[in-house]
C-alpha cells in the first residue's frame, strides 16, 4: 500500500492527537493557510498594460489572462482589486504554475451566461504550485441559456498538484462550485460553496486532499445536489482525503456523500478518507431523489473514518450502505433527524461505538441485513423507534 503524502499525514496526526470540537465554525477567510508568494512581483489586473476594468459590463477575460501570463512561473502574484470582472467561462481564466491569484474583498469574477454543458470561471490544468485566495466566483445558473448538462463550474482543477484555495466563495454555478479531478496535494480552507446547482464540491479523482473549515450550503437543482460529493468515475481513484471543521447546511441532497456507484464496482476506488469534527445540518429536506438523503453517507467503499461530527436535523443521520465495510463511526452526536440516526445495511465489519444518538424520529441505530457485532457503547435516548 502506498503511504499517504506528507501533508495528509501531518494534518491527520495533528487532528487525531488533539481534542476536536464538533461543528467548530470555519475561519473567517481561510487565508491563514495560504503559503506566502515565492516572489515579491505583483501585477495588478487594473494596470493599463493589463487592461481589466472590473465594471461589471466589460468582458475582462483576456485582460485577466494577460496578467496571469505575466506572472506565471515567477512565484509572484496577480492582484484583483474590488470590482466585478466578467469572464467568458467557455474560455476560462487559466492559471499556470508557480503563481498566486489574490482577490481582494469585494472582488467578483462573474461568468457571462452561456448555453454550454461544460464551462469554468477559473481553471487550473496541468499546473503546480498555485495559490488562490479570497474573492467570489459567481456562476451563471440564473442566466444559463441551455437546458442540458451539469458541468458549469466556478473553479475546476484537473491534473494539478500542490494547489491551495483559501477564502474563496463559489456560488450560483450551473454545475459545481468547486470541481477536482486527477489532482494531488490540494488544500481547500475557509471556502464557501453556496446555491450551486449540482454540488458544492465534487472530487472525482485525486490523492492527498484536505478540505477544512469550509461551508457547503443550499445546493439544489439537479442530482445529486450534495454539499460535497466524493465519487470517482470508471478508472479513477480518490485516496487520502481529510475533511475537518466544515459545515454542510441546507443541501437538497446529502450533506456529504462518499461512494463508488455500484455500476462502477471494481472499476473505481476510494480509500483512506477521514471525516472528523464537522457539522451536517438540515440536509435532504427538498431532494429531487426518491430515496431519503442523509447528513453523511458512505456507499460501496471501505475503511472510512467518521468521528466527532454533529449530524442533526437531516433526512437521515449517518448512512452506511451497500459495501460500506470496515468503517469506523465513533464519537459523533446524531440528533433530531427526521428518520433514523445511524443506519447500516448490506455492510460488514463496521465499528459503531461511542456515539450519542438522541431525539431522532426513527430508530436510533438500525442495522438491517448487517452485523451488529461492532455496535457497542453508544448512548441512545428519545428516539421515535428504539432499536
Domain ranges (residues) in the chain = 62-381
| Gap between the Cα atoms of 307 and 284, Å rounded | 21
Q: Which residues, including other chains, have CB under 8 Å from residue 355's CB and lie 6 or more apart?
A: 329, 330, 331, 332, 333, 334, 342, 365, 378, 379
pLDDT in tens, 45-84: 999 999 999 999 999 999 999 999 999 999 999 999 999 9
pLDDT in tens, 241-300: 999 999 999 999 999 999 999 999 999 999 999 999 999 999 999 899 999 999 999 999
| Gap between the Cα atoms of 105 and 30, Å rounded | 13
The pTM score is 0.93
pLDDT at 27: 39
Name the more confident of 222 and 4.
Answer: 222
Could you tell me where the DSSP H helices lie in 160-216?
none
| Residue 364 to residues 281, 352, 383, Cα–Cα distance (Å) | 17, 12, 6
Say whether pLDDT at 123 is over 70.
yes
27 CA to centre of own chain: 16
| Residue 329 to residues 228, 304, 375, 378, Cα–Cα distance (Å) | 19, 8, 9, 11
Binning pLDDT at 50, 70 and 90, where does residue 5 land?
A: low
Strands 161-166 and 183-189: parallel
Say whether pLDDT at 239 is over 70.
yes
60-64 contact pairs (CB < 8 A, 24+): 60/85, 60/86, 60/87, 61/86, 61/87, 61/88, 61/91, 61/93, 64/93, 64/109
pLDDT at 205: 98
Q: Which residues, including other chains, have CB under 8 Å from residue 107's CB and lie 6 or more apart?
A: 54, 80, 81, 82, 83, 85, 134, 135, 136
pLDDT at 109: 99
62-381 folds as Pectate Lyase C-like (2.160.20)
47 CA to centre of own chain: 34
With pLDDT > 90 as the criterion, what percentage of the chain qualifies?
A: 89
pLDDT in tens, 298-357: 999 999 999 999 999 999 999 999 999 999 999 999 999 999 999 999 999 999 999 999
pLDDT at 231: 98
pLDDT at 96: 98
pLDDT at 12: 53
Binning pLDDT at 50, 70 and 90, where does residue 173 land?
A: very high
| Gap between the Cα atoms of 31 and 41, Å rounded | 19
Say whether pLDDT at 212 is over 70.
yes
Amino acid at each position: 500500500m502506498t503511504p499517504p503524502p506528507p501533508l495528509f499525514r501531518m494534518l491527520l496526526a495533528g487532528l487525531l492527537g488533539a481534542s476536536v470540537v464538533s461543528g467548530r465554525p470555519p475561519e473567517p477567510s481561510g487565508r491563514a493557510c495560504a503559503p506566502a508568494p515565492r516572489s515579491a512581483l505583483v501585477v495588478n489586473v487594473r494596470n493599463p498594460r493589463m487592461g481589466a476594468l472590473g465594471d461589471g459590463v466589460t468582458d475582462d477575460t483576456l485582460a485577466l489572462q494577460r496578467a496571469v501570463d505575466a506572472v506565471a512561473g515567477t512565484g509572484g502574484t496577480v492582484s484583483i482589486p474590488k470590482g466585478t470582472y466578467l469572464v467568458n467561462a467557455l474560455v476560462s481564466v487559466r492559471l499556470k504554475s508557480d503563481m498566486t491569484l489574490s482577490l481582494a474583498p469585494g472582488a467578483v469574477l462573474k461568468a457571462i451566461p452561456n448555453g454550454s454543458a461544460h464551462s469554468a470561471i477559473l481553471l487550473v490544468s496541468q499546473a503546480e504550485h498555485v495559490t488562490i485566495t479570497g474573492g467570489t466566483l459567481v456562476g451563471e445558473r440564473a442566466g444559463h441559456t441551455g437546458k442540458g448538462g451539469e458541468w458549469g463550474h466556478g473553479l475546476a482543477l484537473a491534473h494539478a498538484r500542490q494547489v491551495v484555495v483559501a477564502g474563496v466563495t463559489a456560488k450560483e454555478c450551473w454545475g459545481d462550485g468547486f470541481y477536482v479531478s486527477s489532482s494531488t496535494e490540494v488544500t481547500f480552507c475557509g471556502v464557501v460553496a453556496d446555491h450551486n446547482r449540482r454540488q458544492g464540491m465534487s472530487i472525482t479523482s485525486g490523492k492527498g486532499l484536505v478540505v477544512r473549515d469550509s461551508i457547503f450550503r443550499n445546493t439544489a437543482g439537479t442530482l445529486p445536489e450534495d454539499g460535497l460529493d466524493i465519487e470517482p468515475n470508471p478508472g479513477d481513484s480518490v485516496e487520502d482525503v481529510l475533511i475537518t471543521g466544515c459545515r454542510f447546511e441546507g443541501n437538497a441532497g446529502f450533506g456529504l456523500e462518499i461512494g463508488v456507484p455500484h455500476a462502477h464496482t471494481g472499476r473505481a476506488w476510494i480509500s483512506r478518507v477521514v471525516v472528523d469534527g464537522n457539522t451536517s445540518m438540515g440536509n435532504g429536506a427538498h431532494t429531487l431523489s426518491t430515496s431519503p438523503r442523509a447528513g453523511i453517507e458512505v456507499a460501496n467503499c471501505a475503511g472510512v473514518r467518521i468521528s466527532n461530527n454533529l449530524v442533526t436535523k437531516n433526512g437521515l443521520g449517518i448512512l452506511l450502505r451497500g459495501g460500506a465495510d470496515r468503517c469506523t463511526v465513533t464519537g459523533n452526536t446524531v440528533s433530531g433527524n427526521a428518520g433514523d440516526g445511524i443506519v447500516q445495511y448490506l455492510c460488514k465489519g463496521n465499528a459503531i461505538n461511542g456515539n450519542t444518538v438522541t431525539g431522532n424520529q426513527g430508530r436510533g441505530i438500525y442495522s438491517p441485513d448487517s452485523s451488529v457485532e461492532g455496535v457497542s457503547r453508544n448512548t441512545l435516548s428519545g428516539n421515535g423507534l428504539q432499536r
